[in-house]
Amino acid sequence: MSYTAPDFDPPQQRRFRRAPLAVGLAALVPGALLGWVVYEGVGKPGGNSGGGGGQAGAAAPRSAAATASDDAKVPGAGPSPSAARPLQGKVVVIDPGHNPGNFQHTSEINQKVDIGTNWKECDTTGTSTNDGYTEARFTLDVAHRLRTLLERQGATVKMTRDGDQPAWGPCVTKRAEIGNEAHADAAISIHADGAPEGDRGFHVILPASVHSGAADTRPIVDSSRTLGEHIESDFARVTGSAPSNYVGGGTGLDVRKDLGGLNLSTVPKVFIECGNMRDSKDAALLTSGAWRQKAAQGMSEGIVSFLHG
C-alpha cells in the first residue's frame, strides 16, 4: 500500500518509469521460487541425494519404519515362534488331586484297586484347612492356572478331572491311564498335605523303582527325577516357599512306591504337595489367590525347563 500527501501528486513520468521495475520484479519472483524448488528436489550440487531438502527429509521416517519392519523378518532379530511357544508339540497331563464329590461317593472311592505293589483305595477325600477350604478345590484352582500358563507356552494340556466331571474320582489307576494314553511328555499330580500344625513347606514326590504286577516304573525313574528337580527348584524360587521341614530332609524331594498314580505311570510323572493345609501359616498361603498363581507359575517354569532345557 502507498501513501500520498494531500498537496503532493507525483508526476506521471516518474510513475511511468517505476512500472517496468515492478513488472520485472513480479516476473522474477516466481522464477526464483521455481528454481529453488527444482534445486532442492533434485539435490544440491555435490551433496548426498538423500541428505537434505524437503523430499529427502520426508523420506527419512518412511525409511526408518521400513527398516524396523524388515528387522522383524531377520532371523534372530525378534522372538521366533519356537522361542515364544517352547512347548509347541508337547503334551502335559495335569492331575488335580481328589474330587469335591468324593464326600458323597465314599463307597465308590473306597473300592480297592491294584497299584502293583499292593491294593489301595480307588481315591480319597483329601484334606482341608481348619476353615474348611478343601484340598480338592485348591488342586483344581491351581490346575486351571497351570493349564492356562502351559497352553500359552504352546503345550497341549489334558486334565484328569475338570469342574464337576467326573462326579467322583477318578480312581488312581485311571488317573495314571489318562497320562499314559495321552503319551504325555510330562505329568504332574497336584496336592496339599494334611500334617500336624508346625509342619510346613512343600515337597515333590518322585516314583521309586518299582517292578511288580502291573507296575514298572524303571523306564521313567530317571526322567521323573529330573522333572521333579526342575519343579522343586522353580517352585521354591517363584513362590518363596521353603522345602518341607518334615519330609525329604530339607531337599524338597521324596521318593515313594505306594502311590498308584506314580507306580502305574509309563510317562515322566511327579506329585507335588504344595504345603500343609493344617498349618495356619501354610494355610494362609494356600488360600491366597495371588500365592496360588505363583504356585502355578513355579510348576509351569519347572515343566518348561524340563521339556525345553
pLDDT tens figures, 26-60: 444 444 444 443 344 444 433 333 333 333 333 33
With respect to residue 80, please indicate whether it lies within any of the assigned structural domains. Answer: no
With respect to residue 79, please indicate whether it lies within any of the assigned structural domains. Answer: no
Q: Residues 263-301: pLDDT tens digits?
A: 999 999 999 999 999 999 999 999 999 999 999 999 999
With respect to residue 81, please indicate whether it lies within any of the assigned structural domains. Answer: no
Q: Are residues 212 and 285 in the same domain?
A: yes
Q: Are residues 25 and 137 in the same domain?
A: no
pLDDT at 49: 33
Q: Which of 188, 206, 195, 101 is nearest to 147 (CA)?
A: 188
Give the span between the Cα atoms of 295 and 192, in whole angstroms.
12
Which structural domain range is residue 254 located in?
87-308
Q: Are residues 242 and 100 in the same domain?
A: yes
pTM for this model (two decimals): 0.74
With respect to residue 4, please indicate whether it lies within any of the assigned structural domains. Answer: no
Q: Are residues 186 and 276 in the same domain?
A: yes
* Confidence bin at 84 (pLDDT 50/70/90): confident
Residue 75, all three cell numbers: 532371523
151 is catalytic: no
pLDDT at 60: 35
pLDDT at 83: 60
Q: Which of 148, 198, 186, 196 is nearest to 272 (CA)?
A: 186
Q: Which of 176, 143, 136 is nearest to 261 (CA)?
A: 176
- The answer to whether residues 161 and 101 touch, using CB atoms and an 8 Å cutoff, is no
Phi, psi of 23 (to 5 degrees): -65, -40
The residue from 135, 232, 273, 301 that is catalytic is 273
With respect to residue 153, please indicate whether it lies within any of the assigned structural domains. Answer: yes
Give the span between the Cα atoms of 137 and 274, in whole angstroms.
13
Q: Residues 132-170: pLDDT tens digits?
A: 999 999 999 999 999 999 999 999 999 999 988 999 999
Phi, psi of 152 (to 5 degrees): -65, -25
* Confidence bin at 76 (pLDDT 50/70/90): very low
